[in-house]
Homo-oligomer: A and B are copies of this chain.
Amino acid sequence: MPEPGAGEPPDRHRHRLPGRGIVGRIVSRVHKAPGSPPGTLIHTGVRKVDEVRIRLIDFDSDSMEERTLSSIEECHGYAEAPRVSWINIDGLHDIPVIAALGDRYGIHRLALEDILNSHARPKVEEFDAHFLAIVKMLSFDEETDSVHAEQVGLIVGERYVFSFQERFGDVFEPVRVRIRDEKSRIRTRGTDYLAYALIDAIVDRYFRILEQIGDRMEELEEAVLRDPSVEVMQRIHHLKREVLVIRRAVWPLREALGRLARGEIKQVKEETRLFVRDVYEHSVQVIDTVETLREVLSSTLDLYMSGVSNRMNEVMKVLTIIATIFIPLSFFAGLYGMNFDYMPELHVRWAYPALLVGMATVAGAMLWYFRKNGWL
């Protein structure tokens, strides 16, 4: 059995299917070399798109412009103008582009490192001119019952919001729709509200995931009561672990949102905080629900185990009853099958019927005993 050794090239892992086992989603397979300087920019995730795509939305309460940019340089004019500019970057593997962006806007190297590290913990971190937010976007693959986390990084400055995604996603589409609507509140607010709206869109998705997991749980629970097969048990175990992925995404997010809501990040204005508190509370609710689902899953497993042990008992009882009745009877049959010359009973005429009656009596007595003891 070949074992992955320390000396093997890390590339070996890069081509593993993402999300095959839960361990691969918990433990980063790719990381910068230990001891390399902080802020070393390498994309520590699986490359999920071929090309980096940059989309810009630039708006204030009066006007709005929406474009796909062909190069990152194009965005500078927008980002430095007074209107709110939202630059969304899909794909994190083009390091020079991201490094250039960082240099231009004075984004701290550590912030860029976090954005590129797809195993970073959700957090908010304040810098001089902007703040960084790391959030996990979750999805549930109904095929394999597995939860996947994509990382979203936000750099929120006075006039610009940069959002970094690992692949093209449509989770922000509803926010775009709202921005396009002239009368929507988002048009009159600043970048902090936009950042809130993006985080809120991501957190809202969590409820959908919980619902999907809930549906799966109901199916499995029914299956446990109806027909507790090994496969069902393994699926419950599997689901219980998958919930760990959500947990890892939400617990630190809650902490980060709590900091935003308490006003620890100066870029978040007073009037936005009420909204942030709302999304904070949603994160708390997700945690509550996740913990409850875990308890329900544990209880379902207990139920399964009890069911299995119960069936086993039924099986053993049947065996015991049959064996206990027939083994003694067989002994007596064997006894009178012996070939001793001198066995006087054999020659008595009523011996055979008497033996039959005796055997029936013994069997009846045993059945009565079993019934009395509740084994039947």
Contact A215/B26 with A201-B34, A303-B237 known, Cβ cut-off 8 Å: no
Asked if A306 is an interface residue, CB under 8 A from chain B, the answer is yes
With A and B bound together, what is the CA distance between A292 and B373 in angstroms? 34
Say whether B296 contacts A34, CB under 8 Å. no
Which residues of the other chain, B, contact A178 by a CB distance below 8 angstroms? Answer: 35-37
Asked if A207 is an interface residue, CB under 8 A from chain B, the answer is yes
- The distance from the CB of A154 to the nearest CB of chain B, in whole angstroms, is 15
Say whether A35 contacts B337, CB under 8 Å. no
* Interface stretch of the complex, out of A54-62, A77-85, A94-102, A328-336: A328-336
Bin the interface of chain A by size. 35 or more
With A and B bound together, what is the CA distance between A299 and B275 in angstroms? 38
Asked if A27 is an interface residue, CB under 8 A from chain B, the answer is yes
Q: How many copies does the complex hold?
A: 5
With A and B bound together, what is the CA distance between A328 and B325 in angstroms? 9
With A and B bound together, what is the CA distance between A194 and B312 in angstroms? 59
Taken residue by residue from 23 to 55, chain A's Cβ proximity to chain B (1 for < 8 Å, 0 otherwise) reads as 110111101111111100000000000000000
Contact A186/B315 with A244-B296, A299-B241, A307-B230 known, Cβ cut-off 8 Å: no
Which residues of the other chain, B, contact A230 by a CB distance below 8 angstroms? Answer: 306-307, 310
Say whether B335 contacts A341, CB under 8 Å. no
| Closest chain B residue, CB of each to CB of A347 | B341
Asked if A64 is an interface residue, CB under 8 A from chain B, the answer is no
With A and B bound together, what is the CA distance between A108 and B285 in angstroms? 20
Which residues of the other chain, B, contact A267 by a CB distance below 8 angstroms? Answer: none
Asked if A90 is an interface residue, CB under 8 A from chain B, the answer is no
Which residues of the other chain, B, contact A233 by a CB distance below 8 angstroms? Answer: 306, 310
A318: contacting residue among B308, B324, B352, CB under 8 A: B324
Say whether B308 contacts A316, CB under 8 Å. no
Say whether B184 contacts A37, CB under 8 Å. yes
Which residues of the other chain, B, contact A108 by a CB distance below 8 angstroms? Answer: 274
Say whether B330 contacts A26, CB under 8 Å. no
Contact A351/B340 with A37-B178, A275-B110, A288-B121 known, Cβ cut-off 8 Å: yes
Which residues of the other chain, B, contact A197 by a CB distance below 8 angstroms? Answer: 35, 37-38
Asked if A172 is an interface residue, CB under 8 A from chain B, the answer is yes
A sample of 20 cross-chain residue pairs with beta-carbon separation below 8 angstroms, ordered by A number, consists of: A3-B219, A6-B208, A22-B296, A26-B292, A27-B207, A31-B207, A34-B204, A35-B175, A35-B201, A37-B197, A38-B197, A38-B275, A108-B274, A244-B292, A305-B306, A314-B373, A322-B324, A327-B330, A338-B355, A343-B352
Which residues of A line the B interface, CB within 8 A?
A: 1, 3-6, 21-24, 26-29, 31-38, 108, 110, 119-121, 123, 125, 142, 171-175, 177-178, 184-186, 197, 200-201, 204-205, 207-208, 210-219, 221, 225, 227, 230, 233-234, 237, 240-241, 244, 247-248, 251-252, 274-275, 277-278, 281, 284-285, 288-289, 292-293, 295-296, 299, 301-320, 322-324, 326-331, 333-343, 345-347, 349-352, 355, 373-375
